[in-house]
Amino acid sequence: MSETIKSFLTNDHRTCDEEFANLENKVMSENWQEAIKLFFEFEKQIKVHFDMEEKIMFPAFENKTGMNEGPTQVMRMEHAQMLNVVSLMKDDIEKKDKKHFLGLSESLMMLLQQHNMKEEQMLYAMADAHLADECSLIIEKMKELKRD
């Protein structure tokens, strides 16, 4: 079976999860030099993921379904909320505040898990159903964004 919006973005969630786990490990072992490096990698990864959704997939879904105030709006709000936590995590790395960082990273993990579950179980499946004929073009555009 060919690639779907669901399979492509779900795989990208897994990549973000791995980056996040690596970052947490470096903070746990107080390897601050590596931690800041991995922080920037994770931050880039998650921002590109949110951009692929907000700039490409969500608008295509909204145009097709006319659902502008529905699930995509909720997802956008959750992205903003998570990016806020991510930026606070950076402050903690700079201050080498392991305990506070781990509190934030636990919150982020919960938010991210719930968010990704909603996307993977509902939104992505809806997107594949509604956007069946444009699916490969949308995936191609998302990949372009990732390459930038």
- Beta-carbon contacts of residue 45 (< 8 Å; ≥ 6 apart): 15, 16, 19
Of residues 19 through 78, those in contact with Fe ion by CB under 5 A are: 53, 75
- Measured in degrees and rounded to the nearest 5, phi and psi for residue 104 equal -65, -40
92 near Fe ion, judged by CB under 5 A? no
Instruction: State which residue, 14 or 95, has the beta carbon closest to Fe ion.
Output: 14
User: Minimum Å distance from CB 52 to Fe ion?
Assistant: 8
Selected from 19, 24, 92, 119, the binder of Fe ion by CB under 5 A is 119
Q: Are 6 and 15 in contact (CB under 8 A)?
A: no
User: Minimum Å distance from CB 116 to Fe ion?
Assistant: 6
Task: Output the six-digit token pair for 101.
Answer: 């960082």
- Beta-carbon contacts of residue 138 (< 8 Å; ≥ 6 apart): 5, 56, 57, 60, 131
Instruction: State which residue, 35 or 123, has the beta carbon closest to Fe ion.
Output: 123
User: Minimum Å distance from CB 83 to Fe ion?
Assistant: 11
Give the residues lining the site for Fe ion (CB under 5 A).
53, 75, 119
